[in-house]
Every structure is written in structure tokens, then in C-alpha cells.
Amino acid sequence: MARKCTLPPRVLIPGTDRFPDDVVPAETSEEESNTLSMRAFLYDFCLVSTNRDLSKGYLSSLETVIRQSGGGHSCLAKACATISFATHGKPLNRPSLVKKARIFCDELVSSMREGIWCPSKTDTAYFKMLVMLMGIYEIVVAGDQDLDNDLHFIHSHVTGLTGLMNVDRSPLKLLHKYRQHLSITALGKDNDSLTGLLFDFDKVKREFATIASPEDMTAMTDECLALDRRFAAWQATRPREFMPTEVGKMGHRDRARPTVGYWPGNIDTYFDLSVAGLWNIFRATRLQLLSQIIQLSEGLGEDPSVHVHAAICAVDSMVASIPYHLTEDLHNFVSESASNTEIRTAGPFLGGLLLLHPLYYTLRMPFLSAEMRGYLRDCILWIGTRMGIGQATVLAEAPQVDNDYIDSACFIVWSGFLW
């Protein structure tokens, strides 16, 4: 059912300062428009893996669940259409689609409230997916209201999802509790799996916040260093097919700051977007761990340079993944990179959704150069303007964002790896 959105952007009528009417094409009925929007969501956000040892995809069972639950007339299909209207409405300059998304959202929220009070309806993958999708919608429309309202609406969906899934609000604990859904050979086993590392970092992160003495700092440093050795070992021992593969290099340009996708250095490809997304979750988590180690080293009067170097390598690897996440055709992008100065065609919006929060965590690292910080902010802003994901614009422009806001958004996004 997946189908790329082919609706053109609404641009000024040649020779005038007027835009054409913001209406559905005459040959397309409202019902057909809704169906096409749902299919565009499947193209943009769903990924079915071709090798289950390397990837479980992303929302890979959604299309099947839609077919089994009423097809295009189900609430799930309507939620998909809602998100697609919102994500495409903004970059295509079609406010009627954004308005339609709001109307659909209100109708779906009523359906969700009914489901919450009917246990027989809530004990299904269907309803969990519905709550998760409406959380994605709130991430997409973030910035339409003030930040407090954004936080309230995202929190409400996370609260519903944590209740349905019987798990704490932590996105790291979510992946650990449901690790059987990510039981991919390439991710490792038991404590040495990706989910095991994420879970252990969550524990170390909480302990780090309670340090009260030099003795605590020394013990915490030892614990963090031991965990980082496990992170480094995990990275070095992944199967070759799961590893990033260099497909080109971006040369230096005579520009004040590289445009999005054009940072000098390696350009990497991956097995699929799910694998790329998991790699950047790994990198963003390790960066937070290394940031703690650097702070501890400085507090103990030790030289943190080796840890700063490891962190910069992780940042460089994440930056090398940006073109893969954001472009429609990476090989064309690489072959035309010498003559182009910007990404011509955005890829499926899943790439931006999975890249957004790892980029934001990286943006907050204190050891970044001003140039790199500016570039990462430009990339986040690009995800907002070109892929219609409003939270990206919020994160690029807000001077300070509550950690709960980011954790809640990650909880929603990362849950898509489980279905």
C-alpha cells in the first residue's frame, strides 16, 4: 500500500504575488485523498526488514494490522493519514492539510478515550500503535503552541503508552524491557547487547546525578570507564553487514559553514534506516557517558583528552550518517556532491525522525566546536522545515528544553522499533 506523496508544493502563480487555491485536486475525492495520505505515511515512516538477523524494521507490522482491522476506514489508518497531512502540509505550503490533520486528531482523541475505558480494546497491539501514532503526531505539530502545551500533549500520550506497556517512562528502560522484540543477532546477547548497554547507562546516569563527595567521584569514574569499555567492545564486534559502510567523502567547500549533508568527511550508508537509527542511539548514549567521564576527569584533576577524542570520533560517525538519513538517493547525492550545494530531494521522513533526537543530544555536548554546533543545529532545523517535523524546529530554536520533553519524545519514537 505504501506510496510516495506526489502532491506538488503550492508556489506563487508565475508573474503574480498570489498563490493558487489550497484545495484537493479536482480529480481526487476526499476519500481518495485520505487513502493517499495514509499510503504516504506508510512510505515515509514504515520499514519492513529484508533480513531479520540485522533489522526488525520500523512499524513493520503496521500495514498488516491496518488490513486486519478495517483497512482504510480504521482509526489506525486515520492516524496515519493525520500525521501525513501534517508532515506534508507544512513543507508543501498547504495549510488546508494541516487544518484537516487537526480535525482528524480531535476525532481520534475521542476514539482513544473510549478505548481507555474499554479494557477489551486496550489489550491489543492495535490500541498501543494508535496511542504511539498520536504521540508521533504531537511531535510533528510541536511548535504550533507554546512549549508547555507541547510537553503536556506529548506527556499525555507517553502516560497512556507506559500504562499500556507496563513500563517506566525511560526510553532506555523501554527498549530493555521489550528487548525480546529487538532480539536481533547483530545487536548482541544479554548484558553485552545494545539494550543491555542502554539499560546499564540509565542506571549510571541516575547515580551520576547523586555524587556528593570525592570518593563518590572516584567510584563513579571507575564504573563509567568500565561501561565505556563495554560500549567500545560492542562497537568493534558488530557483524560486517551491520556496520556502516563508507560510500564517499565530502570535500571542503569555500563556505562559511557547510550546508546540510555537506560537512567535510566520510559519507556512510547502512543496511537500512532502522539499523542507522539504532547506531545513532548507541552513539548518542555513549556521548552522554563520555561527557560524564570528561566531567569526572576534570573534577579529579585528570587529563580528559583521550575521552574527548573518543567522543569526537562518535560525533564524526553520526555526522557521516546524516546524508543517508535525509536524502532520497544517497548514491546520486554522492555522485553529484561536487556540483550541488544542497540536498535536492528529501528521503522518507523516518530518516529525519530517527536522526532528530540523537542529533539534539549531540548538540548539547560541551566539547563541540562552535562550527560543528552550528552545523548540527542547521541539520535539526532542516528536518523541521523540509520534513515537516515541528519538534525539530522547536529543538533548533529553543534556548533550553526540559529533559522530560526529550525523553518523552524518544519513548514514543523508539517504541516504533518494537512493532
At residue 364, the pLDDT reads: 92
Which alpha helices (H) appear in 50-124, and where do they start and end? Answer: 62-68, 75-89, 95-116, 119-122
Whole-number Cα distances in Å, 408 to 18, 158, 311: 41, 6, 25
3-state DSSP assignment of residue 265: strand
pLDDT band at residue 237 using 50, 70 and 90 as cut-offs = very high
277 close to 201: Cβ distance less than 8 angstroms? no
Amino acid at 356: L
Looking at per-residue pLDDT, the higher value among 327 and 177 belongs to: 327
Looking at per-residue pLDDT, the higher value among 1 and 205 belongs to: 205
Kind and range of the H or E run holding 250? strand 245-250
Q: Which sequence spans correspond to the domains of the chain?
A: 30-172, 179-388
pLDDT band at residue 263 using 50, 70 and 90 as cut-offs = very high
CA 237 to chain centre: 25
Q: What is the pLDDT of residues 372-418, one digit of tens each?
A: 999 999 999 999 999 999 999 999 998 788 888 899 999 999 999 99
List the Cα angle 99/326/347 in 5-degree steps.
65
pLDDT band at residue 115 using 50, 70 and 90 as cut-offs = low
At residue 181, the pLDDT reads: 77
> What's the whole-number mean pLDDT along residues 189-201?
88
Rama region for 146: left / alpha / beta (φ>0; ψ in -120 to 50; rest): beta
Amino acid at 113: R
At residue 36, the pLDDT reads: 94
* 3-state DSSP of 17-47: CCCCCCCCCCCCCHHHHHHHHHHHHHHHHCE
Cell of 289: 557517558
Quickly count: other Cβ atoms within 10 Å of residue 377's Cβ: 16
Q: What is the pLDDT of residues 282-332, one digit of tens each?
A: 999 999 999 999 999 999 999 999 999 999 999 999 999 999 999 999 999
pLDDT band at residue 25 using 50, 70 and 90 as cut-offs = confident
pLDDT at 142 over 60: yes
Q: What is the dihedral of CA 383, 387, 388, 390, to 10 degrees?
A: -20
Question: End-to-end CA distance of the chain, in Å?
Answer: 18
> What's the whole-number mean pLDDT along residues 190-212?
89
At residue 308, the pLDDT reads: 96
Q: Which of 7-11, 276-280, 332-336 has the lowest mean pLDDT?
A: 7-11
Mean pLDDT of the chain: 90
> What's the whole-number mean pLDDT along residues 132-161?
84
At residue 264, the pLDDT reads: 95
pLDDT at 30 over 80: yes
| Location of C-alpha cell 576527569 | 297
pLDDT at 123 over 70: no
250 close to 262: Cβ distance less than 8 angstroms? yes
How far is 163 from 142, CA to CA, in rounded Å?
Answer: 23
Percent of the chain exceeding pLDDT 70 equals: 96
Q: What is the pLDDT of residues 62-82, one digit of tens each?
A: 999 999 888 888 899 999 999
At residue 119, the pLDDT reads: 44
At residue 285, the pLDDT reads: 97
Quote the pTM value.
Answer: 0.93
Whole-number Cα distances in Å, 347 to 28, 85, 95, 102, 244: 25, 17, 22, 25, 18
pLDDT band at residue 117 using 50, 70 and 90 as cut-offs = very low
At residue 384, the pLDDT reads: 97
At residue 293, the pLDDT reads: 97
Percent of the chain exceeding pLDDT 90 equals: 65
